[in-house]
Amino acid sequence: MSYEIGWAAINLEMPGRVPRAEFDAERHWELVNRVMGTSVTPESSPAEKWEAGRAFMKAWNYDLRVGALIHADEISACRTQMGHAVYEAGGGDMVQPGPPAFTDPEEALRFDPWEMFGEKDRAELVRRFEQHYREQIEQGVDTVVMTGTYVTLLTGLIYIFGWEMLLTMAGLDPKRTGEVLNRYRTWMQQYYDALAESNVPLIYSHDDIVWTQGPVFHPDWYRKYIFPNLRRLYEPILARGKQKILFLSDGNYTQFIDDIAACGVHGFFMEPLTDMAYVAGKYGRTHFFIGNADTHVLLSGPRSAIRAEVERCMAVGKRCPGFIFGVTNMIPCNTPVENALYYNECYKELCRR
């Protein structure tokens, strides 16, 4: 693992080893125990889990860790709890759905985030972002880290209204739904203005704008409401010229790569559904990008498929100075350990330029 190698890629300096960013493999306790010789379980203390996970990240050469400060709890005063299926070992992340925040579409279309969530203190936001970034550095893991927002635009509306109400709103009145998004952006601007003032070099900007098959709404709606608002959020950061912006979305956002690039981002995070070859071909010399091995291949195997998946990603990204390799839709705890170990062997064999 190496902070220097991660930043070399972000700065488009073509490090000799393709850097790596994995997600949740350090919480796959059976895998961690096999690699590190530990005996951690879901019932182990947080300190034991962290120490084992930190050692694992070093052993597996993590060069970048992705994370945000501003999550759904920031808008908990008006949130639809959509529930959460079991993902983590032990099932502790299971959450049952709750009642919707809105049952009347007309009321939802009048929603004003300023009235609901209020104005934030700029200095306090700057302090929070810098503290979050500093705390990650002080953890002593030699990787690039970042801070930023998870509920940036559309994701914020998803958490507030829930999918059923949001789609109802958009179906009944796409213009007023866009105006809700506009109002939410003005409220979220407080966070991006604070990020621009902070001493954080890498900004995490997450927004799940698509589904697995592509856009949720008509592309024209995105180009009228989503991308202009993203550009406005990023303007103070870009004007300062000292920070990098990493854009992340689940699903397939290939159709909008050019739109997102035009918003001023410096890097893309993409699941295997998004066409990394397109990104590499058009933006491989000007942007860094993270991706995009498919976790389903690790789940099902066989070894030949796992190797082919690593080879595919390396063939696309290795020629690009800002390529960062990884399973960008996570390595969950039900991934067979032998498959994960073989995947790591393939990375180590193929990561050198």
Domain termination residue (choose one: 270, 300, 331)? 270
Residues in contact with 8: Cβ distance below 8 Å, sequence separation at least 6, in sequence order: 14, 15, 19
307 and 343: one domain?
Answer: yes
* Other CB atoms within 10 Å distance of the CB of residue 123: 10
Dihedral pair phi/psi, residue 70, rounded to 5°? -95, 105
Q: Please, what's the b/e burial string for 155-164 (b: 16 or more CB within 10 A of its CB; e: otherwise)? A: bbbbbbbbee
DSSP-based helix, strand, coil % in the chain, nearest 5: 50, 10, 35
> Is 291 among the domain residues?
yes
Is 28 a member of any domain? Answer: yes
pLDDT at 4 over 60: yes
- One domain for residues 181 and 251: yes
Asked if 146 and 253 sit in the same domain, the reply is yes
In a domain, 227, yes or no: yes
The closest of 69, 5, 60, 73 to 27, measured between CA atoms, is 60
| Residue 90 confidence (pLDDT) | 64
Q: What is the CATH number of the domain that holds 72?
A: 3.20.20.210
| H/E element, 324 | strand 323-327
Residue 94 sits in which domain range? 68-270
- Show Cβ contacts of residue 268 under 8 Å, excluding neighbours closer than 6 positions: 246, 247, 248, 257, 260, 274, 279, 283, 287, 288, 289, 290, 291
The answer to whether position 275 is within a domain reads no
- Both 60 and 80 in one domain: the answer is no
Same domain, 216 and 315: no
239-249 b/e (C-beta count within 10 Å ≥ 16 → b): eeeebbbbbbb
In the sheet with 323-327, reading across from the earlier edge strand, the strands are: 147-149, 202-206, 244-249, 267-270, 288-293, 323-327
Q: Is residue 137 included in any domain, yes or no?
A: yes
Residues 6+ apart with CB under 8 A from 133: 145, 146, 147, 198, 199, 200
Check residue 13 and give its pLDDT: 97
Establish if 353 belongs to a structural domain: yes
pLDDT for 83: 54
DSSP per residue over 55-91, as a string?
Answer: HHHHHTT--B----SB-GGGGGGG-----B---STTS
Choose one of 237, 270, 303: the last residue of a domain: 270
Judge whether 176 lies within some domain: yes
- Shared-domain flag, residues 82 and 56: no
Residue 52: partners with Cβ closer than 8 Å, 6 or more residues away: 29, 32, 33, 36, 38, 40, 44
d(CA 256, CA 25): 29
Examine residue 302 and say whether the peptide bond preceding it is cis (omega within 30 degrees of 0).
Answer: yes
Confidence at residue 81, expressed as pLDDT on a 0 to 100 scale: 79
80-122 tens-digit pLDDT: 876 555 556 666 655 566 788 899 999 999 999 999 999 999 9
Residues 232 and 321 grouped into a single domain: no
The mean per-residue pLDDT over the stretch 69-86 comes to: 82
Mean pLDDT of the chain: 94
Specify if 264 maps to a domain.
yes
Give the model confidence (pLDDT) of 246-294 as tens digits.
999 999 999 999 999 999 999 999 999 999 999 999 999 999 999 899 9
Structural domains of the chain, count: 2
Is the domain of 72 the same as that of 62? no
Nearest to 150 by CA among 195, 208, 196, 88: 208
- Domain boundary (270, 301, 334) is at 270
153 and 60 co-located in one domain: no
Q: Is the domain of 56 the same as that of 72?
A: no
Long-range Cβ contacts of 300-306 (<8 Å, 24+ apart)? 301/336, 301/339, 303/339, 303/342, 306/339, 306/342, 306/343, 306/346
What is the pLDDT, as a whole number, of residue 101?
84
56/73 same-domain check? no
pLDDT at residue 47, as a whole number: 95
Q: Are residues 200 and 342 in the same domain?
A: no
